[in-house]
Amino acid sequence: MLEALINRVSTIGLRRGLTGNRVWLLLGIVAVGMRTLRRIARSDEQVLYRTVVRTGDVFEIIGRQPGD
Protein backbone atom coordinates (compact mmCIF):
# COMPACT_ATOMS: atom_id res chain seq x y z
CA MET A 1 0.00 0.00 0.00
CA LEU A 2 2.81 2.38 0.87
CA GLU A 3 4.55 1.53 -2.38
CA ALA A 4 1.45 2.42 -4.39
CA LEU A 5 1.13 5.74 -2.54
CA ILE A 6 4.77 6.62 -3.17
CA ASN A 7 4.41 5.75 -6.86
CA ARG A 8 1.26 7.86 -7.17
CA VAL A 9 2.78 10.90 -5.41
CA SER A 10 5.93 10.70 -7.51
CA THR A 11 3.93 10.54 -10.75
CA ILE A 12 1.53 13.36 -9.85
CA GLY A 13 4.28 15.42 -8.25
CA LEU A 14 6.59 15.32 -11.22
CA ARG A 15 3.78 15.87 -13.73
CA ARG A 16 2.37 18.90 -11.90
CA GLY A 17 5.82 20.10 -10.87
CA LEU A 18 7.08 20.25 -14.42
CA THR A 19 4.16 22.53 -15.30
CA GLY A 20 5.39 25.07 -12.76
CA ASN A 21 4.09 24.07 -9.32
CA ARG A 22 7.14 24.04 -7.03
CA VAL A 23 5.39 22.32 -4.11
CA TRP A 24 4.35 19.36 -6.28
CA LEU A 25 7.81 19.24 -7.84
CA LEU A 26 9.39 18.99 -4.38
CA LEU A 27 6.91 16.26 -3.35
CA GLY A 28 7.65 14.36 -6.56
CA ILE A 29 11.40 14.54 -6.04
CA VAL A 30 11.09 13.39 -2.42
CA ALA A 31 8.80 10.50 -3.46
CA VAL A 32 11.21 9.39 -6.18
CA GLY A 33 14.04 9.49 -3.64
CA MET A 34 12.02 7.39 -1.19
CA ARG A 35 11.17 4.88 -3.91
CA THR A 36 14.84 4.63 -4.89
CA LEU A 37 15.97 4.13 -1.29
CA ARG A 38 13.34 1.44 -0.73
CA ARG A 39 14.53 -0.44 -3.83
CA ILE A 40 18.16 -0.23 -2.72
CA ALA A 41 17.37 -1.38 0.83
CA ARG A 42 15.04 -4.26 -0.02
CA SER A 43 16.04 -7.85 0.36
CA ASP A 44 16.56 -9.90 -2.78
CA GLU A 45 14.88 -13.01 -1.37
CA GLN A 46 13.07 -15.07 -3.95
CA VAL A 47 9.63 -16.63 -3.72
CA LEU A 48 10.10 -20.39 -4.02
CA TYR A 49 6.47 -21.48 -3.83
CA ARG A 50 3.15 -19.68 -3.67
CA THR A 51 -0.33 -21.12 -3.17
CA VAL A 52 -3.72 -20.24 -1.76
CA VAL A 53 -4.20 -21.36 1.85
CA ARG A 54 -7.72 -22.46 2.62
CA THR A 55 -9.46 -23.36 5.87
CA GLY A 56 -8.35 -26.81 6.96
CA ASP A 57 -5.09 -26.80 4.99
CA VAL A 58 -2.00 -27.88 6.89
CA PHE A 59 1.49 -26.84 5.89
CA GLU A 60 4.94 -26.84 7.42
CA ILE A 61 7.64 -24.22 7.03
CA ILE A 62 11.21 -25.38 7.57
CA GLY A 63 13.93 -22.74 7.76
CA ARG A 64 17.54 -23.56 7.01
CA GLN A 65 20.70 -21.57 7.38
CA PRO A 66 22.53 -20.73 4.14
CA GLY A 67 25.10 -23.38 3.34
CA ASP A 68 23.22 -26.27 5.02
Distances in Å between the alpha carbon of 27 and those of 30, 59, 63, 64, 66?
5, 44, 41, 42, 41
In which band, very low, low, confident or very high, does the pLDDT at 44 lie, cut at 50, 70 and 90?
A: confident
**CA 22/CA 15 separation, integer angstroms:** 11
User: Above 70 in pLDDT, residue 68?
Assistant: no
Find the range with the poorest average confidence among 24-28, 43-47, 54-58: 43-47
Read off the pLDDT of residues 17-33 as tens digits, 9 standing for 90 and up: 999 999 999 999 999 99
Instruction: Please count the helices (runs of H) and the strands (runs of E) in the chain.
Output: 2, 0
